[in-house]
Amino acid sequence: MSTFGDDQVVPSDWAMERFGRKAGQLAAAVPVQLAQAHARAHAVHLEARLKKRSPYGATLAEAVRENLADAARELDEAVRDVRGYEYAVINDHALFPFKYSDRPRPLERARLASNASPTRRRMLLSHGPQPAEGLFPLDDDLTTEEYDDLHETFEALGAATKLVCLFFTAHPESGIHAIYWGDAYLEPDRTFTWLYNEQLPVARQLLM
């Protein structure tokens, strides 16, 4: 079954620079894949019948990664395994999906969770864009050794691979609210500074 929707998406110049001639197909595929991932996560949420600690978030995160990887394969692009998780890599740009809220919130309020894994932090710092001054200031709670470790390039992802942030909001009942992608770097306070971002359409969400 195709991972792409029927709608045609005209890619921006930014998307063309990152993803090349596959940019339009990818821009059409991403909303469809997020909608399908939500349907899978919603089904797990209903089956669990839990009011708290719903498995929705964890299921959604894994389903999004899997679906984006499937889209990359259909585009004859790369899929890289990073610590057991697959990431879609198109034209040497890896998609980094992140649900930053369970309700509609401005992109500027996105923040990485305090318990986010070192792997995710390292991906953002190693493969994301550099800030204007070219240096990341040290966190007060990081030693120099820990700081250097966070900036190590993932060999599995590829030293030349750049990260494209794919941020979205979603809720078990209301589904995907908004989708953005762009270039952002992680600040010491776990917020993000966006050098560029654009909003993608939200696909129709058919629940299982």
Query: DSSP assignment of the chain, as one string?
Result: --S--S------HHHHHHHGGGHHHHHHHHHHHHHHHHHHHHHHHHHHT-SSS-THHHHHHHHHHHHHHHHHHHTT-EEEEETTEEEEEETTEEEEEEEEESS---GGG-B--TT--HHHHHHHHHHSPPPTTS-PPPPTT--HHHHHHHTPPPTTT-TTPEEEEEEEEEETTTEEEEEEEEEEEE-TTSBEEEEEEEEEPPPP----
CA distances from 84 to 65, 118, 159, 176 (A): 11, 14, 18, 26
CA dist 85 and 205 (Å) reads 25
How would you class 76 by CB atoms within 10 Å of its CB: exposed for 0-12, middle for 13-18, buried for 19 or more?
exposed
- Rounded-to-10 torsion of CA 95, 72, 86, 177: 50
Q: What is the pLDDT of residue 176?
A: 96
CA dist 75 and 199 (Å) reads 22
Nearest to 203 by CA among 41, 30, 43, 45: 30
Q: What is the pLDDT of residue 45?
A: 84
Beta carbons of 31 and 179 less than 8 angstroms apart: yes
Query: From first to last of its 208 residues, what are the pLDDT tens digits of the chain?
Result: 344 444 567 899 999 999 999 999 999 999 999 999 999 999 998 887 777 767 999 999 999 999 999 999 999 999 999 989 999 999 999 999 999 999 999 999 999 999 998 889 889 988 988 765 544 444 545 445 554 555 555 677 888 899 999 999 999 989 999 999 999 999 999 999 999 999 999 998 776 5
Beta carbons of 185 and 131 less than 8 angstroms apart: yes
Considering Cα of 180, then 167, then 75, then 1, what sign does the dihedral take? negative
